[in-house]
Chains A and B, each alone.
Chain A
Amino acid sequence: MVRFENVSKTYDGQQALSGVDFEAGRGELLFITGASGAGKSTLLKLIYRAIRPDEGTITVNGAAINGMGARHVPGLRRSIGVVFQDFRLLSGKTIYENVALAMRIRGAAERALKPQVMETLKMVGLRHKADCFPDTLSGGEQQRAVIARAIVAEPVLLLADEPTGNLDPDTSAGIMRIFKDINARGTTVIIATHNRDLYTGTGRRIMRLASGKIERLDVG
């Protein structure tokens, strides 16, 4: 589903990733871990083409995205659900509208929207908060709203950047359960986290990054 071949990226001369090679198979749940600044977020941003690599080849769902023209980028992004580290919920829209936005962007008919959005909000436990604005929600609730937006259109690939950021252990466990459910439905899930509790005992692959390089591959 995702393949990196000798991928490097620098920011103003600072090496963020260096010669990274890895592959995440279809339907896999992969953890990327490492200290802050290890290159986890950079790696995810490269996958949804928020940034471009300096070197190497990136293939997502069979398409090489390095030389992808600007007009094809929206299509790539619509095939991916992203749980952003900084949430990126639109403050002027309700939770329902934020989640529905992902469907509208994909051209979903208004009739089909409501059942699917409400079903997804139910799945993340936010059905009762549909009409609330993001600012009135707790951190955990906002996180779940972002997950709902990322999964509502059933993407083939789900990327999550520090999805349990500063959340308490119970909330983190609840969010992890959602990711496992989504993965169980066949979606490839890549989670960047430094939260050990999230991957310990999962039996899934863990890719450890240090200073922009793959330090080692483990199984949780």
Chain B
Amino acid sequence: MSHPGSAIAGIWKEKWINLLSVFSIGVGLFILLISMLIVYNLNFFASKLQGRFSMTVYLDDGISAPDLARMQGAIRSNPAVGSVSYISKAEALAELKKSMKDSAYLFEGLDGNPLPASLDIRLKRGDATDAMVRGLAAQIKAMRGAVDVEYGAKFLDTIESVISGARSAGLAFLAALLGGVLFVCYSTVKILFYRRRDEVETLGLLGATAWFIRAPFLIEGSVLGVAGGLLASAAGYAVFDVFLAGFAGALPVFRYMQTPVYFLGLLPLAGLFIGFSGALMALGRIKF
């Protein structure tokens, strides 16, 4: 019987332990999938997040017409920008007075117009990422005639730190889960190894090399990992296709949830890697 044959015979011989192990690995990898989904969606939403959908550029009172035209042209050429409109000093004051008509007395005795002219920039929904907003702001600030750019940087920072914290927590949870699944594989192969220690000892006495002895156990560990991964994939498919699709109709938030199908293909591969690594760790050094 070759190594794969020995491994299959070994798996069948200890089928209940192995079944339990596959189930545990499957549950672990399924939780891993859900965690991956959460982290993925956080990343997705973070990339799509817009601090605000407009930006205001306050202009120097002495800005020349060519500089203003150059600035408007540069802003319009940015792919995140939907429209740019010029608000003169007079329009700004009129707008302020209109919005504060109940407090009109504040403007009595006002000498001249203290408000600067500005450019009101409307960003395209869905296309403007945080990085693009920040980049555009920096680009405008560096232009001649721009005094200040307002775009809600603080709000963006807050959202970013919340998402970053959630992402770190998610990744730490992923690592802990991977460790847990690895431990299941490690323990299972360790148990199988001890249950067959007489056989292992005999193989050693007959002159088998360490890798000859390890091979069936490594195959077994890998098979358990892949089987657990397939189980988790099947459960994941059910969640993606049935559960989320069903909920999308009822709760709009699920409509925007990203469910990358390639995650399902990654799970058996992750299972293979974890199963093999766990088995390798469990076997350690073979003593002669």
A residues adjacent to B (C-beta < 8 A): 48-50, 70, 73-80, 82, 84, 88, 90, 92-93, 97, 100-102, 104-106, 110, 149
The listed residue (A74, A80, A84, A149) touching B208 by CB distance below 8 A is: A74
B205 touches A48 (CB 8 A): yes
B13 touches A102 (CB 8 A): no
A-B contact pairs, 28 of them (CB 8 A): A48-B205, A50-B205, A70-B287, A70-B288, A74-B204, A74-B207, A74-B208, A75-B207, A77-B205, A77-B206, A78-B207, A79-B207, A82-B205, A82-B206, A90-B202, A92-B199, A93-B1, A97-B1, A101-B203, A101-B206, A102-B206, A104-B2, A104-B212, A105-B208, A105-B209, A105-B212, A106-B207, A149-B206
Q: Which residue of A lies closest to B10 (CB)?
A: A92
Number of interface residues of B (CB under 8 A): 18
Chain A contacts for B2, CB-based, 8 A: 104, 110
Query: For chain B residues 210-245, which have a beta carbon within 8 Å of chain A?
Result: 210, 212
In the complex, what distance in Å separates the CA atom of A206 from the CA atom of B287? Answer: 34
* CB of B60 to closest CB in A, whole Å: 79
Asked if B20 is an interface residue, CB under 8 A from chain A, the answer is no
In the complex, what distance in Å separates the CA atom of A106 from the CA atom of B9? Answer: 21
B residues adjacent to A (C-beta < 8 A): 1-2, 9, 13, 198-199, 202-210, 212, 287-288
Q: Which 3 pairs of residues, A with B, have the shortest CB-CB distance?
A: A77-B207, A78-B207, A73-B288
Interface centre among B198, B204, B206 (most CB of A within 10 A): B206
In the complex, what distance in Å separates the CA atom of A70 from the CA atom of B199? Answer: 19
Chain B contacts for A97, CB-based, 8 A: 1
In the complex, what distance in Å separates the CA atom of A84 from the CA atom of B205? Answer: 10
* CB of B197 to closest CB in A, whole Å: 12
Chain A contacts for B199, CB-based, 8 A: 90, 92
Q: Which residue of A lies closest to B198 (CB)?
A: A88
Interface centre among B204, B205, B212 (most CB of A within 10 A): B205
Q: Which residue of A lies closest to B286 (CB)?
A: A70
In the complex, what distance in Å separates the CA atom of A90 from the CA atom of B9? Answer: 13
Chain A contacts for B1, CB-based, 8 A: 93, 97, 100
A105 touches B207 (CB 8 A): yes
B205 touches A88 (CB 8 A): yes
In the complex, what distance in Å separates the CA atom of A70 from the CA atom of B2? Answer: 25
Chain A contacts for B202, CB-based, 8 A: 88, 90
In the complex, what distance in Å separates the CA atom of A50 from the CA atom of B206? Answer: 11
* CB of A160 to closest CB in B, whole Å: 14
Chain B contacts for A90, CB-based, 8 A: 199, 202
Chain B contacts for A70, CB-based, 8 A: 287-288
B205 touches A105 (CB 8 A): no
Q: Which residue of B lies closest to A153 (CB)?
A: B207
* CB of B1 to closest CB in A, whole Å: 5
Interface centre among A49, A101, A106 (most CB of B within 10 A): A101
B203 touches A105 (CB 8 A): yes
Interface centre among B9, B198, B209, B210 (most CB of A within 10 A): B209
In the complex, what distance in Å separates the CA atom of A76 from the CA atom of B205? Answer: 10
In the complex, what distance in Å separates the CA atom of A92 from the CA atom of B288? Answer: 23
Q: Which residue of A lies closest to B209 (CB)?
A: A74
Interface centre among B9, B207, B208, B288 (most CB of A within 10 A): B207
A74 touches B288 (CB 8 A): yes
In the complex, what distance in Å separates the CA atom of A90 from the CA atom of B206? Answer: 12
In the complex, what distance in Å separates the CA atom of A74 from the CA atom of B204? Answer: 7
In the complex, what distance in Å separates the CA atom of A182 from the CA atom of B287? Answer: 31
Chain B contacts for A88, CB-based, 8 A: 198, 202, 205
In the complex, what distance in Å separates the CA atom of A79 from the CA atom of B206? Answer: 9
In the complex, what distance in Å separates the CA atom of A76 from the CA atom of B199? Answer: 19
Q: Which residue of A lies closest to B212 (CB)?
A: A105
In the complex, what distance in Å separates the CA atom of A79 from the CA atom of B9? Answer: 28
Chain A contacts for B212, CB-based, 8 A: 104-105
Q: Which residue of B lies closest to A97 (CB)?
A: B1
* CB of A18 to closest CB in B, whole Å: 25
In the complex, what distance in Å separates the CA atom of A74 from the CA atom of B209? Answer: 6
In the complex, what distance in Å separates the CA atom of A43 from the CA atom of B158? Answer: 77
* CB of A85 to closest CB in B, whole Å: 12
Chain B contacts for A74, CB-based, 8 A: 204, 207-210, 288
Q: Which residue of A lies closest to B6 (CB)?
A: A93
Q: Which residue of B lies closest to A81 (CB)?
A: B206
Known A77-B206, A101-B203; further 12 A-B contacts with Cβ < 8 A: A73-B288, A74-B204, A74-B207, A74-B288, A76-B207, A77-B204, A82-B206, A90-B199, A93-B1, A100-B1, A104-B2, A149-B206
